Structures are given as structure tokens and as C-alpha cells.
Amino acid sequence: MNIRVISAIALLCLVWGSLWGLVKHSLQVFPPFLFTSLRLILAAVTLMLLQLILKKSILPKRGEWKSLIILSALVCLGFYATQIFAMQFVDSGLSAVLVFTMPIFIGILAHYVLHERLNRQKVLGLILGTLGLIAILWPQLLHLSWNLSLAGELLLIGSGFFWAMATVYIKKNFATYDKIKLTIWQMLIGGIAILIGALIFEPVDITVWMNPLNQSLLFYIAVIGTGFAFALWNWIVSQVDTFIASISIMCIPVLSLCFGALIWHEPLTMNILMGAALICSGIVMSSLKLKSKNAQFNYCSKQSR
């Protein structure tokens, strides 16, 4: 990876690492799906203005709409809507850990869809990640009963799976596509769909939306944390191996746990810490490039000549 990609990854980790607690706080202020729809639409409109300033095309070609609608459904309905609903019942730091099981799912999907080889290290990483999930869910599994907390945790894992599907779909169908234009439409299409449903089922309190502090919060989450960050993520995915891209942002759930504990006073239980450590270990193990014995033998043979 070159310095541009590394810098982009570092910036993305900082933005997304700080975002989870702010989103959790927003759910105490805004109706969840109305907040999500406006977040997506505002992000898309901001990027649309940027695209106009750069004098680049905005409208997709006729044959691109079907693929964009599928991608938007994966990102907005599968990833964002599922995630925002589940976060009402789960702390922000734990939410980040569960959603960022995404690299584990990508390892499997990329193997079958993108033919990025699933080697022994990635399999071991998948096993460690699965053990991490079991550790996090252990209190609920020990006294198994259906409750909102368990439902939220399972939905967050599902959200990570949808994100993995969307990432692989982008790599397969939009590898050379304008990444800002791609982000505009994947958010705008789904954002409008969620907005229609939110206006039907959720209350609208205009005083909440006119509050300057609430507006600032929405602006940061929408423009910086969603529009800019997702455009940056789409660009990173286009520059490196899909699995490596997902591995590179593994520090985000760790940052989210730290922010959640320090700023939002969320509890860090032993099973959460153990689960997070196992998941991160699995991701690191999957990303390491260890030389095989044959490669080492060949190298030593060349050196001895």
C-alpha cells in the first residue's frame, strides 16, 4: 500500500471510530429512520454539490440504474437501516465490534465471488472471529431467552454481513466507477426509500430539527461521517485487495469501545473485551503474509548458491 492509501485508511479510522457514540446519542434525540434517511440524503446532496464543483457527471447511464439500486438496497436498507434499528438496544462500542465482523464475511464472499483465495490463515482468522462473537454473546447464550439486546446484537452482525456483500458487489461491478458519483446514488436512492417509510410511521417534531446543536450533530454525521467517509472507503476498496481493505480498518471497533467507555460511560465487561480481542486477533491473523516452508526453503537454497 502506498502513502495515499495508508493516509486515507488512518483518516477513515479516526472519523468512523468517533462516529458510533455520536450516532448512539443521536438516537436519543431523533426518530431513528427519519434520522437515517436525512443523514443519507444530506450526504448524497453534499457530494452532488462537490461533483458539480469538480465539473464531473452526476447522472448514471441508462444501463447502470439496476446495479445502483441493488447496491443502494444493500448499503441503505441492509447496512444502515438494520444497524440504526439495532443500536437502540446495544451500546455504541459493542455495536461497532459486531458490525466490524464484516472482514470475516468478506473473507468468505471474496473467495467465492472475487476468487481471492481463502487460505489457512484466513480460515484461522474466521475461527478466531467466530469465537469472539461467541464470547460477546455468551451471557445471552448462557441464559438463552429472546430479548431486545440479543436481537439487536444479531441484527448488528447481519448489518456487517450486508456491508460485506455491498463491498464485494462494488469491487465486482464498480471497480473503475467514479467513487463520488457511486456514493451519491447508493445513498440517495435508499435514503429516499427510507424517508418515505419514516414519514408514514414516525413523528416529526420540527423543534428537534431546528435546534442548532442537533443540526451540527446531523451535519457532522451526514457530511463527514457518512458522505465523505463512505466515498473514501469506496476509493480504498478500489485501490487494494478487498480483504486487505477490510482488515486495514480493524482499529475502528477498538477506538469505538474506548470512546464509548471514556465519553459515554458504557460498560466494558470481560466477555466484551475478550470477544473484541479474539475478533481483532482473527482479523490480524487473516491479514498476515507468512512465508510458506517451500518459499523459505527456495529462498535459502538461492542464498546458499
Taking only the tens place, the pLDDT of each residue in 268-304 is: 888 888 888 887 787 677 666 554 444 443 444 444 4
Which run of H or E residues covers position 227? none
- 18-22, 74-78, 91-95 — most confident range: 74-78
The CA distance from 262 to 57, in Å, is: 44
Mean of pLDDT values over 131-142: 80
Amino acid 304: pLDDT: 45
**Whole-prediction pTM value?**
0.83
pLDDT grade for 1, boundaries at 50, 70 and 90? low
183 in Cβ contact with 238 (< 8 Å): no
Amino acid 102: pLDDT: 87
The CA distance from 104 to 106, in Å, is: 5
pLDDT in tens, 13-47: 889 988 999 998 899 999 999 999 999 999 999 99
Cα 171 off chain centre by: 15
259 in Cβ contact with 17 (< 8 Å): yes
Q: Give the up-direction half-sphere exposure of residue 240: CA atoms within 13 A in the CB hemisphere.
A: 19
Residue pointed to by grid coordinates 451519491: 184
Of 171-185, 212-226, 281-295, minimum mean pLDDT range = 281-295
Please tell me whether residue 175 adopts helix, strand or coil conformation.
Answer: coil
Percent of the chain with pLDDT over 90: 48
